[in-house]
């Protein structure tokens, strides 16, 4: 399928995800349509993604988020990719919740290095009320530094999103991880619907939604299309869409999964950009193992946000100096 037929295809299906589309989520992307994007000739796909990207975003701007783990390891869930699940033996050391001072000094350092958003992650099934109270203190303190705030704390109980929102939380991250039909291969201790319920609470509390998934977990191209369709069909779709490449950690069930062709990762980024034109698409986990060339293709395909800092919860991330050097080489600048 060439570019014109891709565009025509979507126009005839009334799909405003075409390159002249304006509205956010007056459309529905079925899995086959997204799969058609992923199947398109690479040049056509990237051209279309870049065209959409330029309609809605600064073409050379990249948003920088720093992520820290405020409570590490010992999680009761069984996410097959996660080194923090208590049931897997991965060598991750459990760490109790950080103090407010520790979080504030990490946020200050992130801001000094140029981050505009500070994300706090905790390895829980979901927070208890006493955890929410500590998290709201952290959110207030980080926000007072002039940073955007984001938290990823697991499943939320009724009322918890509202408390976080009242404290000034800007974004809540909760990923769908994969397509519904592949989900049970990856996680059995929580259901897809549990995730959607938490995302609904976040929306209702007026907090921006950060929601994406992981590729390279042994899924098919159709399942990658299924993930993107799920995200794009949320109404509205997430403001922030992290696309992660599986980081294989020894001791987790997904260790040893056949490696994904890196260009397939780029295609997934492009499909996210085309189907969610206004979202910030974040090139997330797995960047440390990616060449500069592949990362550059991801930016060309519409990624405009990265995690910035040498650690992502428990796995590695490129050093900030390397990221700065790559951005300079590509003429990219940090978005404030």
Binding interface with ligand SF4 (CB under 6 A)? 75, 77, 79, 82, 84-85, 123, 154
Nearer to ligand SF4, 214 or 225 (CB): 214
Dist. CA 38–CA 53, nearest whole Å: 17
- Is 282 part of any known ligand binding site? yes
Catalytic residue among 48, 117, 195, 210: 210
Between the CA atoms of 238, 204, 233 and 125, what dihedral angle is there, to the nearest 10 degrees? 70
> 75 vs 156, which CB is nearer to ligand SF4?
75
**210 noted as active-site residue:** yes
Is 119 one of the catalytic residues?
yes
User: Binding site annotation covers 298?
Assistant: no
Closest CA to 210 of 141, 274, 266, 161: 161
CA 255-260-265 angle, to 5 degrees, is: 125
Instruction: Please identify which residue in the block is written with the tokens 């304006």.
Output: 22
To the query of whether residue 75 is one of the catalytic residues in this protein, the response is yes
**How far apart are CB 199 and ligand SF4 at their closest, in Å?**
15
Strand blocks (E) in 8-103 = 61-71
Distant-in-sequence contacts of 279-283, Cβ < 8 A, 24+ apart: 279/237, 279/238, 279/239, 279/240, 279/241, 280/63, 280/239, 280/240, 280/241, 280/304, 280/305, 281/241, 281/243, 281/305, 282/63, 282/65, 282/212, 282/240, 282/241, 282/242, 282/243, 282/306, 282/307, 283/243
Active-site residue identified among 75, 195, 224, 273: 75
The nearest distance, CB 84 to ligand SF4, in angstroms, is 4
Q: Which of 119, 211, 267, 298 is catalytic?
A: 119
Taking the complex as a whole, the smallest distance from the CB of residue 103 to ligand SF4 amounts, in Å, to 18
| Nearer of residues 18 and 84 to ligand SF4, judged by Cβ | 84
Residue 150 known to be catalytic: yes
3-state helix, strand, coil in the chain (%, to 5): 40, 15, 40
CB of 92 to ligand SF4, least distance (A): 10
Q: Which is nearer to ligand SF4, 69 or 295 (CB)?
A: 69
154 vs 226, beta carbon nearer ligand SF4: 154
- Check if 282 is active-site: yes
Which residues are annotated as part of the binding site for [4Fe-4S] cluster?
A: 75, 79, 82
Which residues are annotated as part of the binding site for [2Fe-2S] cluster?
A: 119, 150, 210, 282
Residue positions annotated with a catalytic role: 75, 79, 82, 119, 150, 210, 282
């Amino acid at each position: 399928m060439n570019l014109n037929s891709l565009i025509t295809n979507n126009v005839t299906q009334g799909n405003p995800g075409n390159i002249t589309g304006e509205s956010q989520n007056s459309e529905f992307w079925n899995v086959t349509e997204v799969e058609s994007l992923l199947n398109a000739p690479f040049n056509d796909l990237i051209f279309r993604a870049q065209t959409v990207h330029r309609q809605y975003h600064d073409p050379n701007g990249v948003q920088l988020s720093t992520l820290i783990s405020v409570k590490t390891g010992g999680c009761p869930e069984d996410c097959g990719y996660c080194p923090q699940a208590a049931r897997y033996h991965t060598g991750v050391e459990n760490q109790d919740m950080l103090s407010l001072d520790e979080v504030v000094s990490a946020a200050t350092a992130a801001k000094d290095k140029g981050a505009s958003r500070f994300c706090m992650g905790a390895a829980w099934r979901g927070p208890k009320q006493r955890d929410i109270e500590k998290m709201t203190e952290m959110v207030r303190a980080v926000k007072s530094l002039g940073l955007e705030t984001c938290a990823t704390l697991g499943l939320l109980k009724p009322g918890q999103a509202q408390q976080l929102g009242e404290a000034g939380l800007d974004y809540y991250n909760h990923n769908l991880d994969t397509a519904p039909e592949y989900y049970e291969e990856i996680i059995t201790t929580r259901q897809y619907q549990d995730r959607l319920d938490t995302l609904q609470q976040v929306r209702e509390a007026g907090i921006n939604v950060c929601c994406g998934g992981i590729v390279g977990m042994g899924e098919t191209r159709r399942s990658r299309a299924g993930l993107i369709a799920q995200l794009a069909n949320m109404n509205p779709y997430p403001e922030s869409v992290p696309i992660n490449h599986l980081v294989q950690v020894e001791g987790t069930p997904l260790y040893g999964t056949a490696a994904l062709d890196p260009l397939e990762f780029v295609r997934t980024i492009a499909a996210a950009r085309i189907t969610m034109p206004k979202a910030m698409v974040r090139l997330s986990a797995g960047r440390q193992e990616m060449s500069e060339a592949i990362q550059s293709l991801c930016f060309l395909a519409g990624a405009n946000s990265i995690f910035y800092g040498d650690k992502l919860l428990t796995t590695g991330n490129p050093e900030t100096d390397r990221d700065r050097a790559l951005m300079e080489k590509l003429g990219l600048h940090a978005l404030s």
